[in-house]
Amino acid sequence: MVFSSTQQIVLASGNQGKIKEIQAILANHLIVPQSSFNVLEAEETGSTFVENAIIKARNAALQCQLPAIADDSGLIVDALNGAPGVISARYAAVGASDQDNVAKLLQQLEGVPEAHRTARFICIMVFMTNPEDPFPLIAQGVWEGLILNAPIGSNGFGYDPIFWVSSHGCASAELSPVVKNSLSHRGQALRQLTDLIKDREKNFS
């Protein structure tokens, strides 16, 4: 399978924020969200980001009969022993809003000093040429930061308003999309995945 602008690739996500970011980074390719195919979303039963990303990619590839990209990402907070982790999107409850998840996280960290509010966004990105692909490509990105005491900014989604980016002296939600994509865990993983796909093509051609 050639990863080119003529090949449709299904993006296994229903999260509009993720879709927008990934389409921006892979603008030269025909990335089609799985919602365009009325795909039934996979149940994320894995205990790790890798497991969940593979589950989602395989599900999209199976239902669409096209190559698929899936990501599983989340926030790891050291003071909370890694929570919210793989349940970042449903930390407050299944179907919780971003605001609900942020509010719960801030409540859990109440009284924790700045020096102990270290955290990182994690993204695992998987590419499968078909649902039976025995050699899925797996990339990862890690974005280090601190958790603020209150939300700041209106860009991004999820935990962006409380994720402090020390290198730029602002919250992730204050960064422009272009700058965020150059720094973020998702941007890192996507660029790495693109390189892995190119290497595979070179080796298997």
The answer to whether 133 is a known catalytic residue is no
- Where do the domains of the chain lie, and which CATH numbers do they carry? 8-204 (3.90.950.10)
Which DSSP state fits 116? Answer: G
The predicted-structure confidence for 61-82, as pLDDT tens digits, reads as follows 999 999 999 999 999 999 999 9
pLDDT at 87: 96
> What's the pLDDT at 199?
82
Kindly calculate the radius of gyration of the chain based on its CA atoms and give it in whole angstroms: 17
Rounded to whole angstroms, the Cα distance separating 149 from 49 reads 26
Considering only 85-94, 111-120, 147-156, 192-201, which range has the smallest mean pLDDT?
A: 192-201
Q: Which residues contact 1 (CB under 8 A, 6 or more apart)?
A: 7, 67, 129
Identify the active-site residue in 72, 100, 195, 199.
Answer: 72
Burial 162-191 (b: 16+ CB within 10 A, else e): bbbbeeeeebbbbbeeebbbebbbbbbbbb
What does the alpha-carbon distance between residue 199 and residue 193 come to, in Å, rounded to a whole number? 10
What's the predicted TM-score (pTM) here?
A: 0.88
For residue 105, which of 127, 82, 122 has the smallest C-alpha distance? Answer: 82
- 158-189 tens-digit pLDDT: 999 999 999 999 999 999 999 999 999 999 99
